[in-house]
Amino acid sequence: MSGLFEEIHEQPAADVPTRRVSITVNGDKRVAQVEPRLLLAHLLRQGLKLTGTHTGCDTTNCGACTVLFDGKPIKSCTMLAVQADGHEVTTVEGLAGASELHPIQEGFKDEHGLQCGFCTPGMMLAAKALLEENPDPTEDEVRWALSGNLCRCTGYQNIVKSVMWAAKKMQAQSAS
Amino acid sequence: MNTGENPPTQFVDNDLKPVGHGRMLRKEDARFIRGKGRFIDDIQLPGMLHLAILRAPIAHGRIVSVDVTLAEAHPKVKLVGTGAMLAEHGLAWMPTLANDVQPVLATDKIHFQWQEVAFVVADDRYAAQDALELIDVEYEQLPVVVNARTALEASAPVIRDDLAGKTDNRCFDWETGDKQATDAVFARAEVVVGQEMVYPRVHPAPLETCGAVANYDPIDGDLTLWSTTQAPHAHRTLYSMVAGLPEHKIRVISPDIGGGFGNKVPIYPGYLCTIVASMLTGAPVKWTEDRFENLTSTAFARDYVMHGEIAATKAGRILAIRTNVLADHGAFNGVAAPTKYPAGFFGVFTGSYDIQAAHCAMTAVYTNKAPGGVAYSCSFRVAEAVYLIERLVDCLADQLGMDPVELRLLNLLKPDQFPYTSMTGWIYDSGDYESTLREALKIADYAGLRREQAEKRASGELMGIGVSVFTEAVGAGPRKDMDILGLGMADGAQLCLYPTGTAVLRVSCQSQGQGHETTFAQIVAEEIGIPPADIKVVHGDTDLSPFGMGTYGSRSTPVSGAAAVLVARKVRDKAHLFAATMLEVTVADLEWRKGSFHVIGDPAKSLTIQQIAKWAYGTGQLPDGVEGGLEAHIHYHPENLTYPNGAYICVVDVDPGTAVVTVRRFIAVDDCGTRINPMIIEGQVHRGLTDGVGMALMEMITFDEDGNCLAASLMDYLLPTALEVPDWETGFTVTPSPHHPIGAKGIGECATVGSPPAIVNAVVDALKPYGLRHADMPLTPSRLWEAMNGNAQPPM
């Protein structure tokens, strides 16, 4: 990798001002040398090769780049990688357990909450943040919580059903 | 492991575990929900460079000079490309899908704002963007044409002075139907209603923008191009024609695509720049456009100014339709439509009604805007046609004081009239429109809705009910009629059963989320009786899949789907021969039950398809004249389009104080014939209905008088979120297509096509107390407020 993000053991180009960042991504501590202007979304995608985080716009509207930042959903196209220094980031790649899917992932599959799959990672992470804050949301609350995430394929209805499905499953899991 | 003696999978023919048609969860989801999709910008190759495009800030003007000295001096820049440089290679201009031409990079003139002027190739995308700012271009501005209505005025500057002898901005004239007969019906009709309506310029805006990675191997002369294309095979042929590379040395790979919606059918300048850059640098080169570039320079949709007239008796019998259309095609005619159909399938504007005469005269013009026109699930202009007729019928109902449903019931084509040849020459395959409409009325409780509306009106509330009963035309198309740049609109399919009884189907359609990897496995499963899980569907790689025209115009099920059925039957027929040999009986002694051949009258003697597959590759004596192995290939030309239909009912509430429209209910009953996977159909319908809410209420690509695009980002080009759409209510009827091998029609674009008129009809209905007869989309609060106050304005 050139310039924008160097693995720490590599020597960054001398003429480019860079900063060292240490970010816990999906539970693993990752260290990188980055230009201050590098967007977090690009560090995740190109630097760390976590390409499940997508970019669908350049005005912070679409939410395809949504990741969890210390547990809260943020649009990673609108945060600099250096701002994430010392923080915890969860991407779609960190959603599933070692052997089984997260209930939200299962819900999206079972309720046909995705088609092209481009909005799906951001959508699921926004849903995860919602369900951690509000384990038993109404459909209106789900729609509100996902209103920062655009989808062009599903017409949203099956996404709402997917999140409700996951909520039910997560409640059953925590009850047992 | 499958030994052939025991089939590996037991399957039950029911909804939960279908062997063929039925609700089945998607195979694709496994990777997408894990972030393991393979989209274009996910591709990273060793040594890969990044390309960015410099775009013109003006809408019309001459290029005086382009100075790239500073950009070339940037330490991370490997190459700077200009129109002059491409001209040296004979690549400055490329053909469009409509037999027009379009610059790859502008050489001497800018035709629309944000047109491609130069490119930079650098080590990373940040450096490429930096270097764009170091290119100095001097422009000399020319007067601008943004309004199609003024494009043909004598004073209008000629946009396309590159075309020999061009003295005006006329793109083409086109007409259909019988003018004389139509005028005669209009002359004696008791009632004539006319309405001008604009279908404004919108944009498909797939969430993933367009992009490409080109990798040219200078040693072998092989080009591999990963790109966001809905038609990889057609693109391969066109690259060969444009770039002069031999076709067998071009491999186009369409990876997972983050939505297409017609936006990813054309070849864009960025793709060609990427190819040129890879050839000149010897390195892989990636180009990924941003949202701003996508909205301003890639295929727009609609932009038809339509004047429609409907003739009828006082009793409400519709007699004829007459229409004039002014089509704004932008600076280059880039419509992705069959060659003989410059206005696409707009000729189906007579809709679902039994009428006596119809005529359309159309003029298309060039303006200083981006090219496009056919996109956004329009089925080649059927969206415009359906909007025209469904608004006109409502205007007639208003004039006659009739209920819009009653008026439609009086005029709908009857089931026994099919196949029906329309007054503009389209042969509708099948339909039972009244049953479809009655199903929608039942779900909606239409009578109850009208009662509720009457109560609300009495108390000053604005509630509207809108109906649309539409006929689609999808599945291009018959070889004798339809081609794109001379390539007939057929699709190929190859099916290979492997010795252990699993299968690979290779198809030429290209999913962008429509679920082909699942549903095409279901189609084959239904025909040859092996479980969908044992069938892999391969598409999107021109080295691995057979030639065909790709996915758009809802043509996958009608054309590729038919190809998949027929290739499976071809394989089954061969298996039938083998089974007869294996069991030492005649072919006539065997009957097929899904998955196995049985000796008639001797149930103990049977063979599964998996057993036959193993034998096909084995050592047994083959029947005379039959080759071993179990595979087949076909290239399928449909004999006609399929004509799915639907009946939609929309219920809106309008806030009288703010003019904000809320879509409270939307009932969509679709009939696409045989249903392969109801779950996927429903998802497609939800998508199209959301498109309808967007187009009817929010979306518009608009320009100021200087040609500046005013909707160049998602800040201004508004797309519906989960909050703007209701829970959709769907239903269906089943009227199979008689000419399709399993009776299936296309469905993907139906809801996009059918829903906007239902929503506009509902809003106009809500505003009856204001005396409103029509208002143009998008019905944003400000535009609708003006309409409510008698100042309705066409969109610009």
Q: Which of residues 30-89 of B touch A (CB under 8 A)?
A: 30-37, 39, 41-42, 44, 75-76
pLDDT at B11: 38
- Compute the distance between CA of residue B74 and CA of residue B124 in angstroms, rounded to an integer: 12
Q: Which residues of A touch B205 (CB under 8 A)?
A: 152
> What number of C-beta contacts closer than 8 Å exist between A and B?
186
Question: Which residues in B105-190 belong to E strands, given as ranges?
Answer: 109-110, 116-122, 136-141, 170-177
* pLDDT of res. B19: 73
Q: How far apart are CA B60 and CA B715, in angstroms?
A: 25
pTM above 0.80, yes or no: yes
Tokens 């809408």 locate to: B59
What does the pLDDT read at residue A13? 55
DSSP-derived 3-state class of residue B325: strand
Interface membership of A49 toward B (CB under 8 Å): yes
CATH code, B300-476+640-788? 3.30.365.10
**pLDDT value at residue A3:** 46
Closest CA to B318 of B250, B413, B180, B460: B413
Please report residues of B whose CB lies closer than 8 A to that of A46.
Answer: 44
Q: Which residues belong to CATH 3.30.365.10 in chain B?
A: 2-37+490-636, 300-476+640-788
Kindly give, in sequence order, each residue whose CB lies less than 8 Å from that of residue B251, ignoring residues fewer than 6 positions away: B222, B223, B224, B225, B236, B541, B542, B543
For A18-71, write each residue's pLDDT tens digit. 999 999 999 999 999 999 999 999 999 999 999 999 999 999 999 999 999 999
ipTM confidence = 0.96
| pLDDT single digits (tens) B718-770 | 999 999 999 999 999 999 999 999 999 999 999 999 999 999 999 999 999 99
Q: Please say whether the beta carbons of B51 and B279 come within 8 A.
A: no
- The first and second tokens of residue B526, run together, are 């239904």
Q: What is the pLDDT of residue B713?
A: 97
Task: Please list the residue range(s) of chain B that carry CATH number 3.90.1170.50.
Answer: 40-142+209-257+264-297
Cβ neighbours of B259 in A, within 8 Å: 115-116, 118, 152-153
CATH 2.60.40.1260 is right for the domain spanning B40-142+209-257+264-297: no
Domains of chain A and CATH, by start: 5-94 (3.10.20.30), 103-171 (1.10.150.120)
Q: Do A116 and B513 touch (CB under 8 A)?
A: yes
- Which of the residues B33, B686, B729 would you substitute to probe the A interface, choosing the one with the greatest number of A C-beta atoms within 10 Å? B33
Tell me which chain A residues have a C-beta less than 8 angstroms from the C-beta of B206. 116, 118, 152
Tokens of B377: 């699930």
Give A123's contacts in chain B (Cβ within 8 Å): none
The verdict on domain B2-37+490-636 having CATH code 3.30.365.10 is: yes
Which residues of chain B fall below pLDDT 70?
1-18
**Quick one: residue A86, left, alpha or beta (phi over 0 = left, psi -120 to 50 = alpha)?**
left
Tell me the nearest-neighbour CA distance from A8 into chain B, angstroms: 19
Distance CA B680, CA B104 (A): 38
- Split at pLDDT 50, 70, 90, the class of A16 is confident
Facing residue for A58 by CB, picked from B36, B290, B723: B290
Beta carbons of B673 and B656 less than 8 angstroms apart: no
Nearest Cβ partner for B679 among A95, A105, A112: A112
- Nearest by Cα to B515 from A151, A106, A115, A155: A115
Chain B residue at shortest CA distance from A157:
B727
The 3 state secondary structure assigned to B402-417 is CCHHHHHHHHECCHHH
The pLDDT score that the predictor gives to residue A4 is 54
For B677, the closest chain A residue by CA position comes to: A112
- What is the distance of C-alpha B94 from the center of its chain? 23
- Looking at residue A14, its pLDDT comes to 56
What is the predicted pLDDT for the residue at A99? 85
Which residue of A55, A125, A156, A160 is the best one to mutate when testing the B interface, meaning the one whose CB has the most B CBs within 10 A? Answer: A156
Predicted pLDDT of residue B658: 98
- Chain A CB contacts of B257 below 8 Å: 116
Give the per-residue pLDDT at A50.
98
Whole-number pLDDT of residue A11: 45
- d(C-alpha A40, C-alpha B514), whole Å: 31
Identity of the residue in A2, A52, A159 whose CB atom sits nearest the CB atom of B124: A2
Q: Is the pLDDT of residue A160 over 70?
A: yes
